[in-house]
Amino acid sequence: MSTLEPIAPALLAWFYQNARSLPFRQDPTPYHIWVSEIMLQQTRVAAALEYYERWMKELPTIQDLAECSEEKLHKLWEGLGYYSRVRNLQKAARIVCEQYGGELPADYKKLLELPGIGEYTAGAIGSIAFHLPVPAVDGNVLRVFSRLYNNSGDIMSPKVKKEFTEWVMEHQPPETPGDYNEALMELGALICLPNGEPLCEQCPLAHLCRARAAGKQMELPVKKAAKARRIQTVTVALIRSEAGFLVQQRPKKGLLAGLWQPILFEECLTQPQVQQRLNELGVQVEWDEPLAQAKHVFSHIEWHMFGWHATAKAVPLPKGYTWATPDQLTSEYTLPNAFKAYKIFLQQ
Ligand code: SF4
């Protein structure tokens, strides 16, 4: 496919006029860019900002991150989901402290070797913080290029992504790789929108855009549907006593590793069946109203949740469980978002 006329001059002129003022842009250190990029995966900018500010107040350096306790780390991430991201941040921070004196390396390949840093994140840190001439191609950039080139390749395909990345690099000005990468992402976030009509009338690249010329912008990008998620039925029991709620920590490996949860069975149980399981734990209860059904979507699994609510009579603490007050469940124990529907009970 023939290449486009240069896009960088019009794109950068637009970016310098219209870029959102974001805290990590005001002080784009490698650490700031790294943390913000990891937070922004799967999270909207507006939602991530509050987390970012709190994080930098609590953990201003890579060394602080390396030394942070697991509970505090989970608490700083509570609500963002995909907790493997924050665990990888800490693993990488420890390696950076051991191998690079506490500073991220200004080297794309070395960045890629760190846990949780893939091509996109290495490209963002490398180009924005270190001014390296490397690509940073996320979903926004793929969408912009599929439209600019009017290309109907499936953007989930590695081959298509590689081809688009080559085009991205053909247009990258060597003197401002970071600004250019950010400008592309910003154009995708603000103008060449993912849902609904792109704002072509306001687009600095409209005069070059082949999808616009062909009236195809709404048909692009082509993205093959992901595999269907597995449905898992889950029964949650909120057991309350004067000492708080009965909670347990999830295993150190696997889904929601190390986070806290109310009593949970990975199957659909009736109230008598839950009663029987509780009897086995030595817990006697009086039942309250059943809770509303809820759903939580992970990347590969969907939990369909049935909830029961009960008050415990005086009981010994079952092995592996602990009582946690609503205050502790707010400030100390990290409850993943999967239990969002029940937090109204657990944190009051
Ligand atoms: S003209 Fe429209 S479709 Fe083309 S890049 Fe700009 S916003 Fe996207």
Q: Dump pLDDT digits (tens) for 321-330.
A: 999 999 999 9
Cα(110)–Cα(24) distance, rounded to whole angstroms?
22
What pLDDT does 10 receive? Answer: 98
pLDDT of residue 317: 82
Candidate from 191, 193, 197 with most ligand 1 atoms within 8 A of CB, to mutate: 191
Which domains, and CATH codes, for the chain?
Answer: 8-219 (1.10.340.30), 230-346 (3.90.79.10)
For 253-256, the CB contacts below 8 A with 24+ separation are: 255/298, 255/301, 256/83, 256/336, 256/338
Nearest Cα residue to 221 out of 151, 135, 137: 151
Going by pLDDT thresholds of 50, 70 and 90, the confidence category of residue 3 is confident
Q: Is 193 exposed, middle or buried (CB count within 10 Å of its CB: 0-12, 13-18, 19+)?
A: middle
**Confidence band for 169, pLDDT divided at 50, 70 and 90:** very high
**To 10 degrees, the CA torsion angle through 194, 198, 204, 210?**
90
**Annotated catalytic residue, options 5, 37, 119, 289:** 37
- Give pLDDT, residue 2: 56
pLDDT at residue 314 greater than cutoff 70 = no
Give the distance (Å) from ligand 1 centre to CA of residue 143.
9
In the chain, % of residues over pLDDT 70: 99
* Mean pLDDT, range 267-282, rounded to an integer: 91
Average pLDDT on 192-200 reads: 94
Say how many Å lie between the CA of residue 5 and the centre of ligand 1.
15
Least confidently predicted of 199-203, 241-245, 313-317: 313-317
Residue 253: how many other CB atoms lie within 10 Å:
7
C-alpha distances (whole Å) from 153 to each of 7, 142, 149, 212, 220 are: 21, 10, 10, 17, 9
CA 245 – CA 238 distance, rounded (Å): 7
Tokens of 340: 């969002």
pLDDT of residue 345: 86
- The model carries a pTM of 0.86
Q: Which H or E run contains 219?
A: none
Does 221 sit behind a cis peptide bond, omega within 30 degrees of 0 on the bond before it?
yes
Ligand 1 centre and the CA of 105: distance in Å?
A: 36
- Residue 225 confidence class, pLDDT cut points 50, 70, 90: confident
Q: Give the per-residue pLDDT at 232.
A: 95
